[in-house]
Structure 1
Amino acid sequence: MKFIYSLLLFLITCSLQAQPQTDSLKTKILQPADMQADFRYLRRLLEETHPGLYRYTPKAAMQTRLDSLGNTFTKPLPFYDFYRTIEALIADIRCAHTYSLPAKDWEQPFNRQWKTFPLFLFPIQNRSYVLFNGTPNEAIKPGFELLSINGQSMDRIRQILYRYHWDDGYIQTSKQAALQGQLFTLFYYWFVDQPDTFTLTFKTLSGDTIQAIVPAQPFGTSLRFYKKNGVNKQMMAWYNKKQKHPWRLSFLKEPAQTAYLRLDAFGGEGATSNETAVVRFREFMDKSLAKMEKKHTQNLILDLNNNSGGWDSQGIELFTYLMKSDTAVAYYTRQHSITDNSDSEFIQFSDLSEADRKNIKNELIPEPDGTFTLKQGDAGGQPKRYAPKPNRFRGRVYICMNGRSASTASEFLAVAHANKVGVFIGEESGGAYEGGNGGSFVHLELPHSKIYVGTPLVYYNNAVGDIATKGRGTMPDYEVSIRIDDVLTHTSSILEFVKKLIREQDK
């Protein structure tokens, strides 16, 4: 699942027509019987299908938590109070692929109705900076640091949002996504407050402290001012540009013989199935490797910053083009499910095709502990091993990553790190080193509240060996973070750091 982690969520695709209306969920009151029924339904979904429910919390402790929550819905509650309770439980599972939303069709009211925070914030090392100003007020400029909202410090707001954000294990870098752009706007509205105006305190580019009062408004209105307000002109020119291709290869003038490979995501146009995803990626990589060979490339910079994932098979393919081993190695040691019941009411809400649902039992191997291993290699359930590509890159590899390098990207990073594919630069990745939960997903509405829930069906074990500390991402060899100056000048101190590493290696 890819949610709202990319830098520019809707800036190109969403409607500009904002028609402010009252959020009907704000006045919706849920009755005890309905909340109890919804909670029981959600609990069944988690206990019957979620393979990672007890991954970071022992079963006894999670059962105690569920029992306790089940006894709390004894009085009518406003909708958002119930939603916050559900989302806190979801966050406690510590799975980046498990989430809840207040409504299935949340995009339309967000664009047109909900009165929300009008600035696009960009988080850097526990500070929040303005990137786009969604108001007509030209005094608020990109690069201003936001210090407080309605008298509440950003440090306090950050802690509230972190409480509800879904992340793998105990990774902190991925939580910064909760303070970026439209995701901050949504989370503030859902979990902090829903005021009509915002009194804001900023630190300016010169270090002065100023205040401004801005209106709460639908995102469509904010988007219109992103484009109309002159203070955003340069930032919009740089960051509101839709790339023609999600995968791009270029060659640096300096250092010599250095290629730069940028992968925005593991997807690509025309990838409608696992098979087509592999074909598309192989075509791209084969052409890229041919170009690199022609230019006698010695160094490859692989940029996976903000890559939120996609097709697992493409991550595996990338690994086989870069692996150092001359023999085949495993990518996953095991993938498993906790159910093989194709007739389950929950499986009917999954993204599995009808043919896949009918074939579930043929693809799963029953285990003594009651789980079901997905067939990878042979019928005995042994891990599938992957051989290096004949045209693989054999030079030095430098891999850039951050807390938004998640899902498929984080799996690749973990396996590549364990197999010493290259040098890792940036921040802790956004997915657990040992593996997460994903594969196929169940998406459904709770019957009475209509809260929309998404949960995974497959538990992943990455082939990374023994783990000293579970629940953390891939750690960089060199920790380097983006700076606000990088954003305001459209430069990259991370790339410059990698160039320096290459020059030192070439001495």
Structure 2
Amino acid sequence: MRSLYSFLFLLLTCPLMAQSVTDTLQSKILQPADMQADFRYFRRLLEETHPGLYRYTPKPIMQSKLDSLAGTLTQPMPFYNFFRMIESLVADIRCAHTHALPTKDWQRLFNSSWKTMPFFMLPVQGRSYVLFNGTADQTIKPGFELIRINGQSIERIREQVYRYHWTDGYIQTAKQAAFQGQLFSLFYYWFIDRPDTYHLTFRNLTGDTVQVDAPAQPFRETLKGYKKNPVNKQMLAWYDKKRPKHPWRLSFPKDLPQTALLRIDSFGGEGAKTSDEAIAKFRQFMDQYMATMEQKKTRHLIVDVRANPSGWDSQGIELVTYLMKSDSAVAYYDRQHSVTDSSEFLQFSDLSEADRKNVKNELIPESDGTFTLKQGDAGRGPRRYTPKPNRFRGNVYILLDGRSASTTSEFLAVAHANKIGVFVGEEAGGAYEGGNGGSFIHLELPHSKIQVGTPLLYYNNAVGNVHNKGRGTIPDYPAPITLADVLNHTDSQLDFVKKRIQDQIN
């Protein structure tokens, strides 16, 4: 299950070279006939292909909402007003894999022409703090709390941003991601206001109020400011790091005996082109890790999947089989299903031509009009996965947070349901019962040119009865990060786990 978040959570990696242009979308006016045509097109896409359109909203209520929105498109409308309407509908589906973007060139325009707020903000326990200052002014330093923007409280702004943010179900930790870095700047620009100057009120580290006026600027200028402004020096040294060569890494903390730390940045496959390749590459690494831990007589394993946004479903399944406590095979998905095997919208999907021709062979028609994805040789029944003979049999501790999403949230849910270990951190960013994903449709609305993306498969994780539908895996020990963690480059969540292990050793 792939995720849009993997490229929306860019920190300091955007290219700088681009020619500045005007945001023509600000002056673009859409005519009723064009908006109505785009809305009908998008509605048909959702009704024909989106498997989770009614997952959290009963069909009569969703249909009533669609009818109501369609009835409002009777007068000319500024582009961003129409975009907000489309995005509000997307948010109401409550699917992290359904999105809308204003234009195909949004990344280039963000870098070169859209003038946004020149600070990198970080949400911590319901508040918003500066991590990087992208201006030349040294008044505002890392750790200052943002209180107001242009006279509006940050609490009110958060409510508005959350209204348009696409996430699974009712998970708030995932929505908090919209208050981080460039994503917050984009959402403010798209959905709230596009001022030339930001009148900002902060609270400094001693509790005093500080007000500044910061000029709006393209992100390429903000990025230069991050690197030039001396107030960012320490934060850049800690957080502006190149991505490690390998997304999977095993280490052994020097302060804890017989303990290993497995960090998994993503289930991205190490360059794999197919699910089978992804499985083979992951097994190669895990077999090596298991042998190393056996050699070092490891009794405690910490698995860190915080901020792991997505990847190959098959690699999440593989990880479970290396950690299972039971000798019995278990199901990972109860069912995966689609609502179409023949929609013309499939031509816009990421399925290959060969896969599209083979769709009907992979889907089993059901009496309710849906189609169950075949589970290998098992047909309708859930496929079961056998524990690895060389699996880790000691104590497992799993670190998670609101950006543990998509494939990672599925792994967390199944691992939790099978009592694989102790969970520490924050609520996962994907729904415990499963999300929507697999393959995706990406297309452009013909008149407005808004880009939309929707999933093709509905996932039911094999987790038994779900009491809190629409929520992510809840940690056994909630441990949110703190401002002190950010400013001192510490990790209280990992320290919590280490203390538990140390207490057991003693």
Q: TM-score, normalised by structure 1?
A: 0.98
Q: How far off its partner does 1:6 sit? A: 7.7
Which secondary structure does the structure 2 equivalent of 1:322 belong to? coil
Could you tell me which runs of 5 or more consecutive residues in structure 1 were left unpaired when the two chains were aligned.
none
Q: How far off its partner does 1:17 sit? A: 3.0
Q: How far off its partner does 1:284 sit? A: 1.2
Q: How far off its partner does 1:10 sit? A: 4.5
CA RMSD of aligned residues (A): 1.2
Could you tell me which runs of 5 or more consecutive residues in structure 2 were left unpaired when the two chains were aligned.
none
Q: Distance in 2 between matches of 1:297 and 1:188?
A: 48
Q: Which residue of 1 aligns with 2:445?
A: 446
Q: Distance in 1 between matches of 2:8 and 2:434?
A: 25
Q: Which residue of 2 aligns with 1:109?
A: 109
Q: Which residue of 2 aligns with 1:131?
A: 131
Greater CA deviation, 382-391 or 278-287? Answer: 278-287
Q: Which residue of 2 aligns with 1:247?
A: 248
**Structure 1 residue 279 and structure 2 residue 276: aligned?**
no
Q: How far off its partner does 1:245 sit? A: 1.8
Which secondary structure does the structure 1 equivalent of 2:195 belong to? coil
Q: Distance in 2 between matches of 1:7 and 1:401?
A: 20
Greater CA deviation, 202-211 or 393-402? Answer: 202-211
CA spacing shift, 1:309–1:169, aligned 2, 3 Å? same
Q: Distance in 1 between matches of 2:270 and 2:495?
A: 31
Q: Distance in 1 between matches of 2:46 and 2:38?
A: 12
Matches of residues 296-311 of structure 1 in structure 2 within 5 Å?
296-311=297-312
Q: Which residue of 1 aligns with 2:82?
A: 82
Q: How far off its partner does 1:247 sit? A: 1.3
**Structure 1 residue 425 and structure 2 residue 418: aligned?**
no
Q: Which residue of 1 aligns with 2:218?
A: 218
Which secondary structure does the structure 1 equivalent of 2:322 belong to? helix
| Partner deviation per Cα, 1:402-449 (whole Å, 9 max, x = no partner) | 111100000000000000000000111111100000000000000100
Which secondary structure does the structure 2 equivalent of 1:276 belong to? helix
Contact map agreement 2:8 2:183 (CA 8 A) in 1: no
Q: Distance in 2 between matches of 1:16 and 1:326?
A: 53
Q: Which residue of 2 aligns with 1:162?
A: 162
Q: Distance in 1 between matches of 2:9 and 2:92?
A: 28
Matches of residues 93-492 of structure 1 in structure 2 within 5 Å?
93-242=93-242, 243-341=244-342, 344-378=343-377, 380-492=379-491
Contact map agreement 1:161 1:187 (CA 8 A) in 2: yes
Query: Structure 2: which amino acid aligns with 1:234?
Result: Q
Q: Which residue of 1 aligns with 2:12?
A: 11
Q: Distance in 1 between matches of 2:379 and 2:198?
A: 60
Q: Which residue of 1 aligns with 2:92?
A: 92
Q: Distance in 1 between matches of 2:68 and 2:198?
A: 36
Contact map agreement 1:5 1:306 (CA 8 A) in 2: no
Q: How far off its partner does 1:501 sit? A: 1.1
| Partner deviation per Cα, 1:444-487 (whole Å, 9 max, x = no partner) | 00010000000000000000001112111111100001011111
Identity %: 70
Contact map agreement 2:402 2:427 (CA 8 A) in 1: yes
Q: Which residue of 1 aligns with 2:46?
A: 46
Q: How far off its partner does 1:306 sit? A: 0.7
Greater CA deviation, 241-250 or 449-458? Answer: 241-250
| Partner deviation per Cα, 1:183-207 (whole Å, 9 max, x = no partner) | 0010000011000010111111122
Greater CA deviation, 286-295 or 39-48? Answer: 286-295
| Partner deviation per Cα, 1:73-108 (whole Å, 9 max, x = no partner) | 000000000000000000000001000000122100
Q: Distance in 2 between matches of 1:306 and 1:336?
A: 27
CA spacing shift, 1:10–1:173, aligned 2, 3 Å? closer
Q: Distance in 2 between matches of 1:226 and 1:272?
A: 36
Which secondary structure does the structure 2 equivalent of 1:130 belong to? strand
| Partner deviation per Cα, 1:225-269 (whole Å, 9 max, x = no partner) | 111111111111111111222111100112211101111111143
Which secondary structure does the structure 2 equivalent of 1:441 belong to? strand
Q: How far off its partner does 1:504 sit? A: 2.2
| Partner deviation per Cα, 1:94-135 (whole Å, 9 max, x = no partner) | 001000000122100000010111100110111011111111
Q: Distance in 2 between matches of 1:147 and 1:235?
A: 21
Q: Distance in 1 between matches of 2:199 and 2:269?
A: 42
Q: Distance in 2 between matches of 1:145 and 1:60?
A: 43
Which secondary structure does the structure 2 equivalent of 1:333 belong to? strand
Contact map agreement 1:97 1:456 (CA 8 A) in 2: yes
Structure 1 residue ranges, 4+ long, deviating more than 4 angstroms after superposition: 5-8
Contact map agreement 1:438 1:457 (CA 8 A) in 2: yes
Q: Distance in 1 between matches of 2:278 and 2:388?
A: 17
Q: Distance in 2 between matches of 1:452 and 1:338?
A: 22
Which secondary structure does the structure 2 equivalent of 1:252 belong to? coil
Contact map agreement 1:30 1:78 (CA 8 A) in 2: yes
Which secondary structure does the structure 2 equivalent of 1:326 belong to? coil
Q: Distance in 2 between matches of 1:147 and 1:437?
A: 36
Which secondary structure does the structure 2 equivalent of 1:275 belong to? helix
Q: Distance in 2 between matches of 1:336 and 1:313?
A: 17
CA spacing shift, 1:18–1:197, aligned 2, 3 Å? farther
| Partner deviation per Cα, 1:342-369 (whole Å, 9 max, x = no partner) | xx33100000001100100000000010
Q: Distance in 1 between matches of 2:274 and 2:239?
A: 30
